[in-house]
Structure 1
């Protein structure tokens, strides 16, 4: 782990809420989720369900463990999401015939069709952000690098 460079910021300043990166990320996440809600309500998806669908639209037929790795979720969190998506007719969960512990998740026809309806969601968030596509892509990459560094620490 790298040691932070010495700084002129005082302990009191370091402990101010508005100087906390974690709070900036957390509050930005809350704002983003709030912005997504009416868009996802039209699709009858929660935000975590939307994330599952995004992964499956990229690559259908993943195992539950692969979905969990991609979304940084454990199976205890992911299983209820998948059950709800299955109950809504968007995915099918199929046990592997060779190993019943492995469960594959596949989109149904309704799940594939939902992708076209969801296509407007990113543009709405782009507009709300008041950023260019390049700015958002750079910011996304910076946050991913931060996430990966913090996870590795």
Structure 2
């Protein structure tokens, strides 16, 4: 995952000279539903509410932080999200959540609240790339929850 951030920053540095200076550069946070209707035994598969269709589907949420100049979108960081609630879990529980392995850290991250993971992804992105003016959130109600979390800190 770290390599994808560095590749994105390299691509941004190549694109930046040809981008009009009047354009606003932004980081966009997007959660996308990845429906898996035929899967049953996939690890961490869960019932997920689709805000577009207003129905519950089986699958995952892909949380993506991307860079944009208004025309171009480059994914910089991502996380696959599931649920921690047993009643919404369809797939198998993780075999191990050993924090020493990358897979264990990813499994634990997938079951944490989306707000906490979003803040974590933004911090990781900020370490690598910090030249942006705006942050745009395409996650329903995320901005309010992040602002409330920031005031508590």
Output the TM-score relative to the length of structure 1: 0.25
Larger C-alpha radius of gyration, 1 or 2? 1
Query: Which structure shows the bigger proportion of residues in strand conformation?
Result: 2
Query: Which structure shows the bigger proportion of residues in helix conformation?
Result: 1
